[in-house]
A and B are shown apart, each in its own frame.
Chain A
Amino acid sequence: MTNIHSSAAEMAAALSKNETTSVELTKLHLDQISKVDGKVHAFLHVDTEGALAQAAEVDAKRASGEQISPLAGVPLALKDVLTQKGIPTTAGSKILEGWRPPYDSTVVSKLKAAGVVILGKTNMDEFAMGSSTENSAYGTTQNPWDLSRIPGGSGGGSAAALASFQAPLAIGSDTGGSIRQPAALTGTVGVKPTYGGVSRYGVIAYSSSLDQIGPCARTVLDTALLHEVIAGHDERDSTSINAPVPQVVAAAKKLDVKGMKIGVIKELNGAGFQAGVIERFNESLDLLVANGAEIVEVSCPNFEYALAAYYLIAPSEASSNLARFDSMRYGLRVGDDGKRGAEEVMSITREAGFGKEVKRRIILGTYALSSGYYDAFYGSAQKVRTLVKQDFDAAFQMADVLVSPVTPTTAFKIGEKSDDPVAMYLSDIATIPVNMAGIGGMSLPCGLAAEDGLPVGFQIMSPVMQDDRMYRVGATLEAALVSKWGKPILANVPDLGGK
């Protein structure tokens, strides 16, 4: 019997065997949301009516014998960074309060076409800038493993929804780790596909050259199933790659890594990482070796500059991307008293509507792009980006996939780093290089850290448009871990529903 703890694949199987209906499944999840989300605060908006209507439609199609896609009828939580026609979309910012987009993002169109039921919009750091959801204008999401801790960010809402069984599937966006870091800190699976693998049309841009939409779930196979629903070329996004989608579902079913070379990145394994994180990471390497993989050590010397370069490139692009929020056409408007001019109203609205971190990055980016500073800041950062790519190219000459821990530490306490932006930025030290190079990266849970009992994430990176490789290794490792632990790691998460 399927329940909210089942995987998406199991739910899909039950639906196709008519053991349950999408409406029933959707109601189960809506119930769970009303039970636990008061504690977790994963959702910014729950679309009860829309979700049930969509579920009923899928059930009707199935009943009429119409061909429907594998995930049809399975519920999903959508990060509030994607537009969904008529549904409030804020990107976690006050400045978009009340805005209902007149159009669907391409990913939402694909989800709807596949019959995936969209439960609602999940919380996030404002404009995806942050690693804890503490920068959301609508309150922090709590980590289901320990409600006094952050769930990671920016996609903490999506990850927490999965970990608290409010949805079996979720969509995230990853600019510097916003899918993978929350996955790691909540014991769930998150994938940042190759840049250009999934359309960005309808994704509220933070940093266009780094943003990538990806699938989140509780198992590698579920993530792969969702990946294939949302991926593919989109003529409305000219940076989307016009090539066949990697066969990630097949790869996730292979469960075999014999002869594969796994490259451990020297620079992302040791100093600065929590002991319990390294311990679980090394244990996972042993499991891969036991399954026939070969471990090689690779060096990426330029990664040490990646974080600094990221905090020039991303804010630079953000300063331009966020310029459109000026109160003239949509969203918040403050100070329009009929006397003030447009420029002043723009300024007052932006002062009131943007949070501290967003302002910090707009100012940083504006400065980095200014004439006289451009070459030293934005220009140098782009050169570092090229060097990071070259490091990856060289490393992939020696290994099929590269691995590292996802984060230096397990989930930290709410408020612990919110006054220290640099400490917060360091949470993404292992995830940022992947965005800089545009390659694929996956986070999957590899156990609980001995010192605090919190989940640890294992990162697998694969070359451009070879996303299937990380799924193959990820699924194999996941199976080995489940058999080692006797159950999925997420089975250890506290039950919030009963209390």
Chain B
Amino acid sequence: MTLDYAAAVEKYEPTLGLEVHVELNTKSKMFCSCATEFGAQPNTQTCPVCLGLPGALPVVNAKAIESTILIGLALNCSIAPYSRFARKNYFYPDMPKNFQTSQYDEPICVNGYLDVEIETDEGQKTFRVDIERVHMEEDTGKSLHVGGSTGRIHGAEYSLLDYNRAGIPLVEIVTRIVPGTGKYAPQVARAYVTELRDILRSLGVSDVKMEQGSLRCDANVSLAPVGSGKLGTRSETKNVNSLRSVERAVSGEIERQANRLENGERIIQETRHFLEESGATRPGRSKEQAEDYRYFPEPDLVPVTPDAKWIEELRTRIPEKPSLRRKRLQAEWNCPDKEMESLVNAELLDVVEETIKLGAEPTRARTWWLGEISRLANEKEVAPTSLVNAVQVAEVISLIVSGELTDKLARQVVEGVIAGEGSPAQVIEKRGLKVVSDDSALMSAIEAAIAAQPDTAERVRGGNIPAAGALIGAVMKATGGAADAAKVRELLLKHLGQG
């Protein structure tokens, strides 16, 4: 028999545990001054230290410590006044020293939490995810196993190694077990990683790109019969490369384990590999026999002892929690859900907020950034914020509001700013884009239009007001769009005795 998800969670209570690895965006590596840029030619960003050459010694990147403390503070952790690095010993070709320098039993941040909200059958509900620890470690190199069927080192013909990634600072954020999520376990997992990603982004400490591996999530899942109060054997799913995959991996694993239990099979404690295409997992390394990493304090590094004053100073730099900020801004701007979502996804929240702070009216600010500017950015395949800034957009909007620019002219101004012709005022000046509001100038254009279309004019005079559209169009065309259409209409109708 097979249990589907609904049946699985009716019978079994899932318990979650999440381990998130974050690559910090420091300019240099954790223990040396090598660059960390993504995508460079293999083995070009290496030195004796990150290659583990004989005699080389690590030195801790102070910026990485700062970033880790910021993460800890944002996750409501205590910051340890004394923490140490340890060596985790095991042999693997992508690890140059055959040990990984990582914090172990003395991590820098402990005992935090993160509240996440999800939509349940009973409406919005908050789950508290307790954070056990946030610690620093170094990434390993990257191996590519060529030949063989599995893509793993066993059976490969040869392996290619790229040590550019070796020594990139990693922060590992480990939750305590998250009980009581019931059938919402997959959503809680996704909400947690989403909230965490947003926090990390707001702190500016990581690129948080799951697809590039700068944010990686391992999902631990175990099941126990509902009401048993027990904890089952857990599996650890790796290679979960998107938010959606987090949700799918957890629900898939719940289903798989429930069916095993249902068939009287036991759950094997192991790592499992998430398969993006099918949403299933395949078994990896067994963890039944705990590997002995022979951890001991790293003798080449001195303990990390951050000054209490510095920590307090860092605390003042923790921005508002992104989910709360979104709620606040949405209310302040009176912004529809959909639009808010688009702003968040397009990473435009900050710039829109800035534009509004500069005096722009919220609806116009949102519309400009999401509309015209995003369209141009899409065309050029760049980020909208790389084209224009908040100050320029706020200026354009204020000119529209004051009637000095029409929407159409404003688009030309923005174009000019992007083309590097200067500030909006300079573009207007250079391109002569001022709204033509001089009545006499408009009147001559109106008269010209009437002269060109005497029949239409006659119909308007006869009371056919909609027919005026054609004349207004002609005037607008003649003025190159520089006229205020409403003004043209007013003058035209008055002239034809309909005002």
Contact = CB atoms under 8 A, between A and B. Distances in A.
A305 B430 CA distance: 87
A326 interface: yes
B299 A209 contact: yes
Given A238-B300, A324-B98, A201 B56 contact: yes
A330 interface: yes
B93 A103 contact: no
B174 to A, nearest CB: 20
Contacts of A323: 89, 91, 97-99
A113 interface: no
Interface in A149-166: none
B58 interface: yes
A391 B146 CA distance: 58
A329 interface: yes
A79 to B, nearest CB: 12
B99 to A, nearest CB: 5
19 contacts: A99-B54, A101-B48, A204-B55, A237-B59, A238-B60, A239-B57, A239-B302, A319-B294, A320-B89, A323-B97, A323-B99, A324-B54, A328-B93, A330-B53, A341-B153, A342-B153, A369-B296, A374-B296, A378-B296
A169 interface: no
A179 interface: no
Interface in B75-129: 87, 89, 91, 93, 96-99
A203 interface: yes
Nearest to B90: A323
Interface in A430-474: none
A105 interface: yes
Contacts of A101: 48, 53-55
B169 to A, nearest CB: 15
A83 interface: yes
Contact of A324 (B52, B153, B159): B52
A467 to B, nearest CB: 20
B431 to A, nearest CB: 55
Contacts of A83: 53-55
B51 interface: yes
A221 interface: no
A298 interface: no
B277 interface: no
B154 interface: yes
A202 B56 CA distance: 5
A324 B97 contact: yes
B294 A369 contact: yes
A11 B218 CA distance: 65
B453 to A, nearest CB: 82
Given A208-B299, A323-B91, A329-B52, 20 more contacts: A83-B54, A102-B53, A103-B56, A105-B55, A209-B299, A237-B59, A238-B300, A238-B301, A319-B294, A320-B87, A320-B99, A325-B54, A326-B91, A326-B98, A328-B93, A330-B53, A341-B153, A342-B153, A366-B294, A371-B290
A208 B300 contact: yes
A274 interface: no
Contacts of B52: 324, 329
Contacts of B87: 320
Nearest to B154: A341
A65 to B, nearest CB: 36
Interface string A317-345: 10110011110111000000000011100
B292 A371 contact: yes
Instruction: Give the residue among A91, A96, A324 with the most B Cβ atoms within 10 A.
Output: A324
Interface residues of B, number: 32
Contact of B54 (A204, A235, A328, A342): A204
A316 interface: yes
A476 to B, nearest CB: 35
A285 interface: no
A236 B59 contact: yes
Contacts of A133: none
Interface string B292-320: 10111001111000000000000000000
Contact of A329 (B96, B153, B292): B96
B308 to A, nearest CB: 21
A346 interface: yes
B57 A237 contact: yes
A200 interface: yes
B309 to A, nearest CB: 20
Nearest to B157: A338
Nearest to A99: B54
A103 B53 contact: yes
A445 B300 CA distance: 33
Contacts of B290: 371
B102 to A, nearest CB: 13
A369 B53 CA distance: 23
Contacts of B57: 200-201, 236-239
B55 A201 contact: yes
Contacts of B99: 320, 323
A91 B53 contact: no
B154 A239 contact: no
Contacts of A306: none
A148 interface: no
A181 interface: no
B294 A370 contact: yes
A82 interface: yes
Contacts of A326: 91, 93, 98
Interface in B1-45: none
Nearest to B294: A369
A123 interface: no
- 10 tightest CB-CB pairs across the interface, nearest first? A323-B98, A369-B294, A208-B299, A209-B299, A202-B55, A204-B54, A83-B55, A238-B59, A324-B97, A324-B52
Contacts of B58: 238
A239 B56 CA distance: 13
A85 B284 CA distance: 43
A89 interface: yes
A342 B294 contact: no
Interface string A347-384: 00000000000000000001001110010001000000
A323 B97 CA distance: 7
Contacts of A342: 93, 153, 159
A461 to B, nearest CB: 22
Contacts of A330: 53-54
A371 B292 CA distance: 6
A105 B53 CA distance: 11
A146 to B, nearest CB: 34
Instruction: Give the residue among A89, A102, A205, A328 with the most B Cβ atoms within 10 A.
Output: A328
Interface in B166-213: none
A108 to B, nearest CB: 10
B433 to A, nearest CB: 57
Interface in B317-341: none
Nearest to A83: B55
Nearest to A342: B93
B93 to A, nearest CB: 5
A82 B97 contact: no
A200 B295 CA distance: 23
Contacts of B96: 324, 329
Nearest to B48: A103
Contact of A239 (B153, B159, B300): B300
Contacts of B53: 83, 101-103, 329-330
Contacts of B159: 342
A99 B89 CA distance: 24
A96 B57 CA distance: 18
